[in-house]
Amino acid sequence: MLTSTTPFAAVARLTRSWGVFHSVRTLASTPSSAPYLSTEGRDTFKDVFSRKTFLIDYYKHLNDTNNIVLYCHHNNLNKVDNARVRSELNAAGAKLVYLRNSLYKAYLRSADEADPASKSAREATMDVVHPLAPLLKGPTAVIAINDTDPSVVKAVLKTLKSVNEKLFVIGAQVETSVYDAAQVDQFKDLPTKQQLQGQLAGLLTVLGGAGLVRTLESASTHLYLTLDTRKDDMAKQQGGDAANDEK
């Protein structure tokens, strides 16, 4: 049985801090340029060179290349605040992108397809309802974070707090899981994976050291008992020999 004071309980708590979040629900500004699918040989439902195809391609690139995507509602964020927020987010390792909801929903429906902008993907996924789709109501933006780093999320939330209700988180996709706003707030206080690995390594080292000490103590005790028993046997034997000599 694990208790709160055993080292094994500590290991369990550390691993659970990440694992509990990744059992939540599993999924499978306008950019100027980015690496997209080739324009050759594509049968897209909009012209391959159209703005709509460009944006769907960009949304795919955005989600495929970032482990954390925070979904935000924005409301009357002025130019000064917008510039400051962007600058602070960039410094923290995050990127703010305003969405066209209808096109982002089209991307989400076909996110598992090789080419979400293709006619075949559109036809095959018309009835798909993505878990993130309910978040796309009203003016929506995403904040993309490349690494799964809770400290970056914490810095992002601190920046958003400075603009009150003009830009706030309503949900997120973290790797393959969907979070609500409350879970995002909890996630920000977790250790990073690297920190968690370091803590686990430290605990395992301690556990390994303790095991070695116990093994050595056990071996020493066994050796002592063996020698002590042999000493008693020799004493008895010597006592018997002395008695025989007296006779």
pLDDT tens digits for range 204-238: 777 666 655 565 556 555 655 666 676 677 777 76
More confident residue, 239 or 170: 170
Answer whether residue 101 shows pLDDT above 90: yes
Strand boundaries in the chain, DSSP class E: 68-74, 94-98, 140-145, 167-174, 177-180
User: Tens digits of per-residue pLDDT, 51-95?
Assistant: 999 999 999 999 999 999 999 999 989 999 999 999 999 999 999
The torsion angle over the Cα atoms of residues 151, 157, 159 and 160, rounded to 10 degrees, is: 160
Tokens encoding 198: 């370091």
The closest alpha carbon to 105, from 135, 144, 145, 62, belongs to: 135
Full-model pTM: 0.71
Domain 40-190 homologous superfamily, CATH: Ribosomal protein L10, N-terminal RNA-binding domain (3.30.70.1730)
* Residues 47, 39: Cα–Cα separation, whole Å: 10
Where along the chain do its domains lie? 40-190
Distance in angstroms (rounded) separating the CA atoms of residues 179 and 104: 18
Give tens-digit pLDDT for 160-195. 999 989 999 999 999 999 999 999 999 999 988 788
CA angle 77, 171, 178 (to 5 degrees): 155
Q: What is the pLDDT of residue 200?
A: 76
The pLDDT value recorded for residue 5 is 46
